[in-house]
Structure 1
Amino acid sequence: MKFMKLFSGIAFILPLALLAQTKAIVSIQNHSALNYKDAVVAIKWDAVLLQYPQIDTANFVVLNSVTKKQIPYQLEHKGHSAIQNVLVQTDVKAKSSLTLLIQKGKPEIFTAKTYARYVPERKDDFAWENDQIAFRAYGKALEKEKDNAYGFDVWVKRTNRMILNERYKRADYHTDHGDGLDYYHVGFTLGAGNMAPFVNDTIRYSGNYQQWKILDNGPLRTTFQLIYDSWNAGGIKISATKTISIDAGSQLNRIENTYTFNSDNTLPVVVGIIRRSEAGYISLNEQQGIMGYWEPTMNENGTTGVGSIMTTPITKMWVNNEQLLAKTTVKNNETFIYYTGAAWDKAGKITDAKKWLDYLNDFNQKLKNPLVVSIK
Structure 2
Amino acid sequence: MKRFIIHCICAGILSGAALTAAAQQVALHNPASVAGGLVEVDYAALAAQWQPLAKGNFKVINTATGKEVAYQVLTEGTGAPVKILLDVTLPAGAKITVKFVEGKPAPVAAKTFGRYVPERKEDFAWENNRVAFRMYGKALEATPKEMAYGVDFWNKRTEDLVINKWYKRSNYHKDEGEGLDYYHVGLTLGAGGIAPYLEDSIWFSRNYTGHRMLDSGPLRTTFELSYDAWQVGRRSVTVTKRVSLDANAQLSKMDIRYSENLPVAIGISKRKEPGAMLLEETSGVMGYWEPQHGADGTTGIGCIVLAPVKEMKVEKGHLLAVSATDGNNAITYYTGGAWDKAGKIRNAGEWFRYLQEQAIRLRQPVSVKIIEKSKK
Question: Quick check: 16-25 or 335-344, which moved more?
Answer: 16-25
What is the CA-CA distance between 1:54 and the residue it aligns to?
2.2
Residues 103-132 of structure 1 deviation map (CA, whole Å, 9 limit, x = unaligned): 112211111011100000000000000111
- Residues in 2 aligned to 1:55 and 1:270: alpha-carbon distance in whole angstroms: 43
Contact 1:158–1:347 (CA under 8 A) maintained in structure 2: yes
Q: Counterpart in 1 of 2:35?
A: 35
Q: Counterpart in 2 of 1:9?
A: none
Answer yes or no: is 1:225 the counterpart of 2:221: no
What is the CA-CA distance between 1:267 and the residue it aligns to?
1.4
> Aligned pair in 2 of structure 1 residues 329, 18: CA closer, same or farther (>3 Å)?
farther
Equivalent position amino acid for 2:32 in 1: S
Q: Counterpart in 2 of 1:250?
A: 249
Equivalent position amino acid for 2:134 in 1: R
Q: Counterpart in 2 of 1:329?
A: 324
Residues 7-33 of structure 1 deviation map (CA, whole Å, 9 limit, x = unaligned): xxxxxxxxx899725321111111222
Contact 1:18–1:52 (CA under 8 A) maintained in structure 2: no
Question: Quick check: 248-257 or 316-325, which moved more?
Answer: 316-325
Once superposed, which parts of structure 1, at least 4 consecutive aligned residues long, lie more than 3 Å away?
16-19
Q: How many residues were matched structurally?
A: 355
- Residues in 2 aligned to 1:235 and 1:310: alpha-carbon distance in whole angstroms: 27
What is the CA-CA distance between 1:234 and the residue it aligns to?
1.6
Contact 1:49–1:55 (CA under 8 A) maintained in structure 2: yes
Q: Secondary structure at the match of 1:246?
A: strand
Q: Secondary structure at the match of 1:312?
A: coil
- Residues in 1 aligned to 2:335 and 2:267: alpha-carbon distance in whole angstroms: 10
Equivalent position amino acid for 1:162 in 2: L
- Residues in 2 aligned to 1:126 and 1:210: alpha-carbon distance in whole angstroms: 11
Contact 1:197–1:269 (CA under 8 A) maintained in structure 2: yes
In the TM superposition, 1:1-376 aligns within 5 A as 20-36=20-36, 39-55=37-53, 57-145=55-143, 146-261=145-260, 266-331=261-326, 333-376=328-371
Q: Secondary structure at the match of 1:357?
A: helix
> Aligned pair in 2 of structure 1 residues 357, 73: CA closer, same or farther (>3 Å)?
same
- Residues in 2 aligned to 1:130 and 1:228: alpha-carbon distance in whole angstroms: 25
Equivalent position amino acid for 2:231 in 1: N
Residues 120-163 of structure 1 deviation map (CA, whole Å, 9 limit, x = unaligned): 00000000001110000000000111211000000011111110
Gaps of 5+ in 1: 1-15
> Aligned pair in 2 of structure 1 residues 19, 49: CA closer, same or farther (>3 Å)?
farther
> Aligned pair in 2 of structure 1 residues 91, 330: CA closer, same or farther (>3 Å)?
closer
- Superposed CA RMSD: 1.6
- Residues in 2 aligned to 1:164 and 1:203: alpha-carbon distance in whole angstroms: 31
Q: Counterpart in 1 of 2:12?
A: none
- Normalised to the residue count of structure 2, the TM-score between the two structures is 0.91
Sequence identity percentage: 44
Contact 1:22–1:54 (CA under 8 A) maintained in structure 2: no
> Aligned pair in 2 of structure 1 residues 17, 370: CA closer, same or farther (>3 Å)?
farther
- Residues in 2 aligned to 1:268 and 1:159: alpha-carbon distance in whole angstroms: 38
- Residues in 1 aligned to 2:141 and 2:296: alpha-carbon distance in whole angstroms: 28
Gaps of 5+ in 2: 1-15, 372-376
What is the CA-CA distance between 1:273 and the residue it aligns to?
0.2
Q: Secondary structure at the match of 1:177?
A: coil
